[in-house]
Structure 1
């Protein structure tokens, strides 16, 4: 059901939707976007998938820059509401204070042995198409559309920014993405699948009893089949959904943020994409966080603050020139 939520009602509704109790203090301490301004919550956009629209917290007379936020969760968990409990709340708040609208969609996850691919990337393209179709109603500035994604959401965001919908058998018109920000994103799935820590986990899971093995077999969940039995098909999927395969000189300005000791998505995933983008002459920057792991584990307050600044500056500096000039 679609609703426009004011500050108090929005806060209560989201608390009930996510956890019921206990998050109010957490939200307040972490400056959750739901506590500020208005939110249109639970908007259908593609099949059963819904999205939330966080409107600017200031009056914007002209078109509104728009940021598409894609949550993480390893393609198996996560939801659109986590925009309120992630590591970018201050950045999102600052962008809304600068006149940005933020769109946070759910997307298809692995369920009951069914791979999330290609449905998850279809959902992301559908979210971009929803922004295009509803630009007039929400006064979205289609010349100032950016994407911010973390972890699995970063992989999907990079794909949507780099590849045309037709590459994934979609007939949506292509909407130009002005910039993309990938935070500890998987960019080369084949290399990630062969990473030492991932191999170790797969070996441990393989030794578990049958029923437990089936529930924890992430590889089977992501592929939808046993990749050991169909290696050629598995390799095709790994290549098709790797953003690095689509890196070109036409790629939109790309900011990559990654901890150097990330044991879930190794730092090399961003480093190699940065090298490829640089090789082909695409505007990009890699911001490394020394000694920081996945989801910014081990990050200092100074490093966390720096991330907010990097995200905000990239969005403000790489939107449309006309939009930047009016702020």
Structure 2
């Protein structure tokens, strides 16, 4: 290689580094804002991954992770041999699938409706009321649901009796419990979910609506031809993220709404991990369950992202 070629290579390498350093110096304050988030995920997401070794060990809480003896795949064999494993996996998938089918379109529809409200005062009041359930804990929401649907004192059953109908034990029937669970999920999260979609709608060029008005388009046509295509990339990204949690479910809602009568449909992976792993001390078994759960979620989010990009849409990466 000649001296001139060597010099040109070094110049290209140096010019490639300088813009990055220049960008870092120029926007160092913005990068500093990432430090708390980076530290948070490092401490609470990445460092705890070392605890996955428990899934391959006969874990003893007094010996610790490193001193406990290895047992290979024994915890995974035990996991698949437990009859409740398939039942709680079915329940988790069922509740998440219903939440996706019913709950995912709800904030989109609400955001479209809020975006069409002309009165700013009424719009702010509506948004505040819709956001409110998100800030209540599931213990409080679960108590409200049980009080409203009580067969003796609940307002729903009282109204039904006035119309000559017999009361329904909503929280003691498997089918009704699943329906109530799904609807309360929508009630709690739909209002809060509108924030992202409303923000996406603000990025749509107003001149598109003006041009549509000149062409004689009505509100429904504007929503269908301008608003929905404008927020479609956001919808796809959030759908991918939701699909990536199909095998995961928070413990708060099932724990607050479940009761011994409906455990056939209310027992999910998170409550099983709590009852067996925390209460009974089966840390190795429940770590194996959580690890399989995470691997399946990773596969789902990778598959959803791949399909979204194959269809010509935008993915997460």
Which has the larger share of strand? 1
Q: Same fold (TM over 0.5)?
A: no
Normalised to the residue count of structure 2, the TM-score between the two structures is: 0.23
Greater CA radius of gyration, 1 or 2?
2
Normalised to the residue count of structure 1, the TM-score between the two structures is: 0.23
Which has the larger share of helix? 2
Q: Relative contact order: is structure 1 or structure 2 higher (C-alpha 8 Å, sep ≥ 6)?
A: 2
